[in-house]
Amino acid sequence: MRTQLLIENHNYTDIFVTPYVETTPDLSKVRELTEADREEAMTFLAVRPVHTVVMMSFINDNGLQSELNRGKFFGYRNAQGQLEGIALIGHSTLIEARSNDALKAFAYTARTSETPLHLIMSHGTAAESFWQHYSDGLSKPRLTCVERLFEVNFPFMVPKCDREVRPATVEELLPIAEAQAEVAFMECGVDPMQKDREGFLKRVARRIEQGRVFVVFEGDKLVFKADIIAETADVIYLEGVYVASEYRGLGLGSSCLAALSLELLNRVENICLLSNVDFTGAHKSFAKAGYKATDECTTLFV
């Protein structure tokens, strides 16, 4: 779930891990969430709508229990029965833990996940703490990526855009999927078109059908793309911002992103995206589009 304009190379930083011994958390306080928990879960997540937009959107789109989530939602309750954390544990492991006990319990629960973990994401350095508990300090993730959170809301300066940014169509699936695969490869070193072509094309097609992929074409050439990965009543989270190589550095990315953001802010109060801290060129483009850096988080690729 990371965003970049594919302007420059970047470096990932490994985290140093050492074995350690710790007490086992009380896993009786962790249980899978069901549709009966929806209202309570959404109220809990709504406290920090920008940081939890992806989980909230998954629940809105798919429900708490669905194969489309590519994992399972779990809740951690304290001694008083109150929620102290919610986590989606699976392909994309997303964590909103408001106590160390909840974070630790989710990490131990993830050890028996039916769905293999691909990435672990949370605000600040919580993902690294999760990994320490998950691995007992005996291994390290394949990649560690520090990402900057960018946000935009009204009012903001909008550069002129002389191109039409429009919703994509299913007929444009292949060039869109190839562009998204390029983004993913630069992000984590894995090409989803090679690893799981059929599944990846199916997921991209579903996003197009949901009206969440926006493009600019010049003839048959895809020159700009951005995807809505998650949307709630208050926040839209963008990912996969792409500019074709021959159009980079010309201001096309910032003008198209600003035009899209202006349109989307008619339906939400805030738009956010994440970008690797090393993508300084992309960050300048985001700034030209009206975005401001507001926070950082760490994403681990397993």
| 144, part of any domain | no
Domain of residue 48 covers 27-139
Residues 104 and 194 placed together within one structural domain of the fold: no
| 164, part of any domain | yes
| 8, part of any domain | no
Minimum mean pLDDT among 2-6, 164-168, 184-188: which range?
2-6
Residues 130 and 164 placed together within one structural domain of the fold: no
| 15, part of any domain | no
Alpha-carbon distance 280 to 9, whole Å? Answer: 10
How confident is residue 49, by pLDDT bands cut at 50, 70 and 90? Answer: very high
Percentage with pLDDT > 90 across the chain: 88
| 288, part of any domain | yes
Average pLDDT of the residues of the chain:
92
pLDDT tens sequence across 19-34: 556 789 999 999 999 9
pLDDT tens sequence across 181-191: 999 998 899 99
Angular region, 154: left φ>0, alpha ψ -120 to 50, beta rest: beta
Instruction: Give the helix ranges, DSSP H, for the chain.
Output: 38-45, 53-62, 100-110, 126-135, 173-188, 192-195, 197-209, 252-264, 280-288
Residues 231 and 282 placed together within one structural domain of the fold: yes
Alpha-carbon distance 103 to 95, whole Å? Answer: 8
Residues 233 and 290 placed together within one structural domain of the fold: yes
Alpha-carbon distance 191 to 284, whole Å? Answer: 26
Residues 229 and 290 placed together within one structural domain of the fold: yes
| 5, part of any domain | no
The residue-averaged pLDDT of 196-207 equals 98
3-state secondary structure of 93: strand
How confident is residue 11, by pLDDT bands cut at 50, 70 and 90? Answer: very low
| 120, part of any domain | yes
Domain boundary among 110, 139, 168: 139
3-state secondary structure of 27: helix
Residues 174 and 291 placed together within one structural domain of the fold: yes
The residue-averaged pLDDT of 78-101 equals 97
Question: What amino acid is encoded at 215 in this protein?
Answer: V
Residues 118 and 154 placed together within one structural domain of the fold: no
Residues 157 and 270 placed together within one structural domain of the fold: yes
* 137 or 107: which leads in pLDDT: 107
| 16, part of any domain | no
Residues 265 and 173 placed together within one structural domain of the fold: yes
Alpha-carbon distance 300 to 282, whole Å? Answer: 21
Question: What amino acid is encoded at 105 in this protein?
Answer: A
Task: Report residue 132: phi and psi, to 5°.
Answer: -60, -45
Residues 180 and 282 placed together within one structural domain of the fold: yes
73, 87 in Cβ contact below 8 A? yes
* 284 or 20: which leads in pLDDT: 284
Total domain count for the chain?
2
CATH number at residue 161: 3.40.630.30
pLDDT of residue 5: 38
